[in-house]
Structure 1
């Protein structure tokens, strides 16, 4: 179910980007005088709209939250306890490294501290079942989100209808979650 929602989000984002590319004016193939518009108009035509940037930030936060569930909430020991997913090889450092693709360093450390316990089961670290995030973004849609009017191309902040605020920032051309809090 979670993978279906994430896949739907990625497909939606791909369709938005493809739609924007396909909706541009067709090129004139006949010979005619050069257009009189300045070169400064071209970057505006290729710039992303803030709505598209906002959606990228929101979808990135949803994917990041799904990855937390994958890492800390899917694998179980023989006796049914939640354990750290084997991809992290039973190491806090590897868990943080995995999370750093979706969260900034401080947030990845907070997540690891929240979920990882001192207990072991089947040779793996037992994870806490307590949710870190104030709202499960995988159960939201764009209609449930209010984007901050001060958002930029490099930072997207949004609030869910139940008052949880998420902040994402662009790092190396992709958005990572930097904060999640409930007011």
Structure 2
């Protein structure tokens, strides 16, 4: 009988502690009316534009990293640059790999610039001359001038050395669309 009373007592104590923990969690996570604030439309727009600009800038940097990884990292036995066999084997698989980072409007031109018709063993040699006139990977946010007409769908910016990058939003992701 004592064992039953002890078990019942522990069950009641556990339920009381669980109930107290749940009710204190609910009150801690529920905002009170006095705690809520509303941002002014101008402040929200400024933050959103800065965020959008940075997303476009970061997307361009990532695209450049992927291009370098694919075309300027792997070498053949004789030391020539080849399409990185870890990511792609030819123009079509290179396009497929880059399609997550580069917009379709730029993809053919970019891949055709790098992938040659010459092979070293099973791998295609790549053009060693960069498609890009400047290296965005060496820039900092302070080196960038964002276009005042940027939108949530299109981000354009210029580096301090004069290269202009355009990224556009495709399926909720920014892709590199143009470099001049």
Could you state the TM-score of these two structures normalised by the residue count of structure 1?
0.74
Structure 1 residue aligned with 2:173: 174
Question: Cα 1:119–1:152, aligned 2, differ >3 Å: closer, same or farther?
Answer: same
Question: Cα 1:168–1:123, aligned 2, differ >3 Å: closer, same or farther?
Answer: same
Corresponding position: 1:147 with 2:146 = yes
Question: Cα 1:31–1:109, aligned 2, differ >3 Å: closer, same or farther?
Answer: closer
Distance in 2, Cα, partners of 1:145 & 1:132: 20
Q: Secondary structure at the match of 1:78?
A: coil
Unaligned runs of 5+ in 2: 1-27
Aligned pairs, number: 149
Distance in 1, Cα, partners of 2:134 & 2:70: 18
Point out the structure with max Rg over C-alpha.
Answer: 2
Displacement of 1:173 after TM fit?
0.8
Unaligned runs of 5+ in 1: 1-25
Structure 2 residue aligned with 1:19: none
Q: Secondary structure at the match of 2:119?
A: strand
Displacement of 1:28 after TM fit?
7.0
Q: Secondary structure at the match of 2:86?
A: helix
Structure 1 residue aligned with 2:134: 135
Higher helix fraction (1 or 2): 2
Runs of 4+ in structure 1 displaced over 2 angstroms?
A: 26-32, 44-48
Corresponding position: 1:75 with 2:71 = no
- Aligned ranges 1:3-152 → 2 under 5 Å: 29-30=31-32, 49-152=48-151
Deviations 1:141-169 (A, max 9, x none): 01110000000111100001111000000
